[in-house]
């Protein structure tokens, strides 16, 4: 099962928060409000981010590491915790596996070595490590700064190792939490929108689970994994994937190496796009299916980062020809020869409850009465679980022990060189969301369009001023973009968003090298150079 271990209230009641590779102040503002309550109650906050973001402005200590050196930092923190005798040995002995190998793997990561590799002063690493280890309760939260790397899974494992080392998981106020970018990212995975999973995280290669679905659905579910998104593009490249049905995504603007994404999507035999808006991807489609909004034009549920399933309700009718996703899918099925009738959202949900044990107890009536429920919730007597992995604190541990996963630092794939000396990293801003499909139509007082954010020192070195357009060149493409000077950056580090693809196609620069396990592209680390645009005299 993949999900954050904790509920929002826990971050309000914890003692220490590590916000790693996350600018939640801008990208998860609601979650950050919960976090602020924690700070107000005295929690200490550490932010790990190459930039001194607006989240970092709230921190006790900001650790400004070099892009893509998270594992080095985590391993050094682990070594420091071990060396200082701050390991939660009771927990490690009773509930984990593989500590000795892990200890050996982090042993070379002295604070001095970590400072040399990450750039973060040793004393700041020491402070973070000691505070995290010695706090009675501590939370580790991360976002795309951890996962948009070619080492995404290893990055996550390096953080989980820290939680295991200190026992900061499975109790109230302690946990490990990826922050989800949308109201229902968690729900998408829960419902089986993953290449290898059926609803409820049941593996498609698990015969027993799959047979259950075969029987319920009266079909034979193929016992093979599908592709994740990056894998789909590779399959298009190979000519194996020729028809794509896109629901609520805008991949030609959100994917790394945009040139390639457009070329491959254009080469498809069939492209169907179902969306609220006529996105750039939809413009390429053979068929566009106008969809109703999930939030208020459709009945159903969403699942938040704290695994809370909540009802969403249709309160207005969708405009024009737009229809609810369910209705579109049923008609499509009928056209393909499967008449599923016209079940309503609750009937579909009740089918899920029969097939996905972790949702079994979540009737619409209970969701309504209890303002949502957190999975797992196995039956109608089960209250749901505020946090996961309490079993690790039972003695003896119920179920398998939690394994340490030794991981090694590997620098970003797109290496800096004399030709590409600047490290460009990308991210989001408060008022914008991803490619702007959902936010661009609204006015915002803070919108300033796409910029290349540079440190004051680099702006001076390149002789460029705020507002001046420059050419940014990577190994894959080039864009022209105005400069913005931001002291949150240091020399050698530049930042862009990808919110304004119509103005600047940032993802023509980014690298689509992916993590082999997660399929996430390395949006966070691109090597670029800056070229001044000479104005004819």
Partner 1 sequence: MDLHIVGGEPTPEEREAVDAVLGPATSGWRGAVRDVDRDGRTADGGAGVSARPQLLPAFHAVQDRTGWVSRGALNYICRRLSVPPADAWGVLTFYHLLSTAPRPLAVAHVCDDIACRLRGAEALCAALEGRLGPASNPTSGPAHPVESAASPEGRSPASFGWQRSPCLGHCDAGSAVLVTRAGASPTRAVLAPAPTADAIVAALEGQAVPPVPLTLGVQGQPRLLARAGAADPISLDSYRAHGGYRALARAIAIGPDAVIAEVTASKLLGRGGAAFPTGRKWEAVRRQPATPRYVVCNADESEPGTFKDRVLLEADPFAVVESMTICALATGATHGFLYIRGEYPLGEARMAAALAAARAAGLLGDSVMGSGARFDIEIRRGGGAYICGEETALFNSIEGKRGEPRSKPPFPAEFGVFGKPTVANNVETLVNVLDIVLEGGNAWATTGTPGSAGPRLFCLSGHVARPGLYEVPFGATLRELIDLAGGVTDGRAVKAVLLGGAAGSFVGPDRLDLPLTFEAARDAGATLGSGVVMVFDDTADLTDTLHRIAEFFTHESCGQCVPCRVGTRRQLELMGTLSGQEVHSSVPSASSAASKPSAPSAAQVYAELATAMRDASICGLGQTASAAIESALRLGLITGARRP
Question: What span, in angstroms and rounded, lies between the C-alpha atoms of 377 and 88?
Answer: 30
**Measured from the CB of residue 425, what is the shortest distance to partner 1 in angstroms?**
14
Among 8, 20, 62, 109, binds partner 1 (CB under 8 A): 62
Three-state helix/strand/coil letters over 17-85: EEEECCCHHHHCHHHHHHHHHHHHCCCEEEEECCCCCCCHHHCCEEECCCCCCHHHHHHHHHHHHHHCC
Nearer Cβ to partner 1 (242/465):
465
3-state secondary structure at position 454: strand
**Measured from the CB of residue 114, what is the shortest distance to partner 1 in angstroms?**
12
Span near partner 1 by CB under 8 A; candidates 50-58, 284-292, 364-372, 506-514: 50-58
Question: What span, in angstroms and rounded, lies between the C-alpha atoms of 117 and 4?
Answer: 29
- Residue 61 as a binder of partner 1 (CB under 8 A): the answer is yes
Question: What span, in angstroms and rounded, lies between the C-alpha atoms of 128 and 270?
Answer: 52
Question: What span, in angstroms and rounded, lies between the C-alpha atoms of 432 and 26?
Answer: 9
Nearer Cβ to partner 1 (39/293):
39
Interhelix angle for 70-83 vs 111-118, to 10°? 170
For residue 2 the two structure tokens come to 């993949």
Nearer Cβ to partner 1 (440/492):
492
- How many helices (H) and strands (E) in the chain? 20, 23
Span near partner 1 by CB under 8 A; candidates 55-63, 195-203, 394-402, 413-421: 55-63
- Residue 428 as a binder of partner 1 (CB under 8 A): the answer is no
Map residues 76-115 to x or -, x wherever contact with partner 1 holds by CB under 8 A.
----------------------------------------
**Measured from the CB of residue 40, what is the shortest distance to partner 1 in angstroms?**
8
Cα separation values, 110 from 49, 116, 363, 409, 494, Å = 20, 10, 52, 14, 28
Say which DSSP state 536 is in: P
3-state secondary structure at position 13: coil
**Measured from the CB of residue 411, what is the shortest distance to partner 1 in angstroms?**
18
- Residue 447 as a binder of partner 1 (CB under 8 A): the answer is no
Among 3, 4, 21, 119, binds partner 1 (CB under 8 A): 119
Question: In the window 487-506, what residues touch partner 1 (CB under 8 A)?
Answer: 487, 489-491
Span near partner 1 by CB under 8 A; candidates 48-56, 139-147, 498-506, 518-526: 48-56
* Contact of 386 with 10, CB cutoff 8 Å: yes
Question: What span, in angstroms and rounded, lies between the C-alpha atoms of 198 and 210?
Answer: 8
Among 58, 233, 330, 375, binds partner 1 (CB under 8 A): 58
Who's near 96: CB < 8 A, 6+ residues apart? Answer: 164, 401, 402, 403, 404
* Contact of 328 with 274, CB cutoff 8 Å: yes
**Measured from the CB of residue 120, what is the shortest distance to partner 1 in angstroms?**
6
Q: Which H/E stretch holds residue 102?
A: helix 99-106
Strands 308-312 and 373-374: antiparallel
- Residue 120 as a binder of partner 1 (CB under 8 A): the answer is yes
**Measured from the CB of residue 343, what is the shortest distance to partner 1 in angstroms?**
47
Span near partner 1 by CB under 8 A; candidates 116-124, 247-255, 347-355, 511-519: 116-124
- Residue 36 as a binder of partner 1 (CB under 8 A): the answer is yes
- Residue 52 as a binder of partner 1 (CB under 8 A): the answer is yes
- Residue 456 as a binder of partner 1 (CB under 8 A): the answer is yes
> CB neighbours (10 Å) of residue 223?
13
**Measured from the CB of residue 45, what is the shortest distance to partner 1 in angstroms?**
5
Nearer Cβ to partner 1 (124/437):
124
Cα separation values, 130 from 60, 61, 127, 465, Å = 13, 13, 5, 42
Among 60, 214, 234, 408, binds partner 1 (CB under 8 A): 60
Among 59, 169, 373, 459, binds partner 1 (CB under 8 A): 59
Please tell me the count of residues contacting partner 1 according to CB under 8 A.
Answer: 27
* Footprint on this chain of partner 1 (rule: CB under 8 A): 25, 36, 39, 44-45, 52, 54, 56-64, 119-121, 124, 455-457, 487, 489-491
């Amino acid at each position: 099962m993949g999900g954050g271990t904790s509920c929002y209230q826990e971050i309000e009641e914890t003692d220490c928060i590590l916000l790693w590779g996350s600018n939640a102040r801008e990208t998860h503002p609601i979650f950050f409000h919960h976090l602020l309550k924690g700070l107000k109650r005295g929690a200490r906050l550490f932010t790990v981010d190459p930039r001194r973001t607006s989240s970092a402005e709230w921190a006790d200590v900001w650790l400004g590491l070099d892009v893509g050196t998270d594992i080095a930092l985590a391993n050094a923190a682990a070594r420091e915790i071990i060396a200082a005798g701050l390991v939660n040995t009771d927990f490690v002995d009773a509930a984990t596996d593989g500590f000795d190998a892990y200890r050996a793997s982090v042993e070379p990561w002295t604070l001095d070595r970590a400072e040399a590799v990450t750039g973060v002063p040793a004393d700041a690493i020491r402070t973070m490590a000691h505070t995290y280890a010695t706090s009675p309760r501590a939370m580790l939260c991360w976002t795309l700064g951890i996962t948009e790397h070619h080492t995404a899974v290893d990055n996550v494992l390096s953080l989980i190792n820290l939680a295991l080392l200190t026992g900061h998981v499975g109790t109230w106020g302690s946990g490990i939490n990826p922050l989800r970018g949308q109201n229902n990212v968690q729900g998408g995975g829960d419902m089986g929108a993953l290449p290898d999973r059926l609803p409820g995280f049941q593996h498609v290669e698990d015969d027993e689970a799959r047979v259950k679905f075969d029987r319920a659905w009266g079909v034979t579910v193929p016992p093979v994994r599908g592709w994740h998104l990056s894998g789909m593009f590779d399959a298009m490249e190979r000519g194996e994937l020729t028809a794509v049905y896109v629901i609520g995504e805008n991949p030609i603007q959100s994917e790394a190496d945009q040139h390639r994404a457009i070329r491959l999507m254009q080469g498809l035999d069939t492209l169907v796009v179902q969306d609220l808006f006529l996105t750039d991807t939809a413009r390429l489609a053979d068929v566009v299916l106008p969809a109703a909004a999930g939030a208020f034009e459709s009945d159903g549920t969403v699942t938040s980062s704290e695994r809370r399933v909540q009802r969403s309700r249709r309160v207005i009718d969708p405009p024009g020809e737009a229809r609810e996703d369910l209705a579109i899918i049923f008609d499509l099925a009928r056209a393909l020869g499967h008449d599923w009738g016209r079940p309503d959202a609750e009937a579909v949900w009740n089918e899920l409850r029969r097939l996905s044990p972790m949702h079994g107890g979540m009737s619409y009536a209970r969701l309504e009465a209890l303002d949502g429920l957190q999975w797992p919730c196995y039956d109608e007597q089960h209250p749901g679980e505020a946090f996961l992995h309490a079993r690790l604190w039972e003695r003896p541990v119920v179920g398998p022990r939690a394994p340490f996963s030794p991981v090694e630092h590997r620098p970003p794939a797109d290496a800096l060189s004399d030709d590409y000396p600047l490290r460009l990293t990308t991210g989001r801003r408060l008022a914008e969301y991803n490619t702007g499909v959902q936010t661009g139509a609204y006015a915002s007082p803070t919108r300033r369009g796409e910029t290349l954010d540079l440190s004051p020192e680099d702006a001076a070195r390149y002789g460029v001023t705020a507002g001046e357009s420059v050419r940014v060149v990577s190994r894959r493409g080039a864009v022209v973009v105005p400069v913005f000077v931001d002291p949150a950056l240091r020399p050698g580090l530049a930042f862009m968003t990808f919110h304004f693809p119509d103005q600047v196609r940032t993802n023509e620069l980014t690298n689509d090298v992916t993590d082999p396990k997660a399929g996430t592209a390395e949006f966070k680390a691109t090597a670029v150079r800056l070229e001044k645009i000479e104005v004819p005299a």
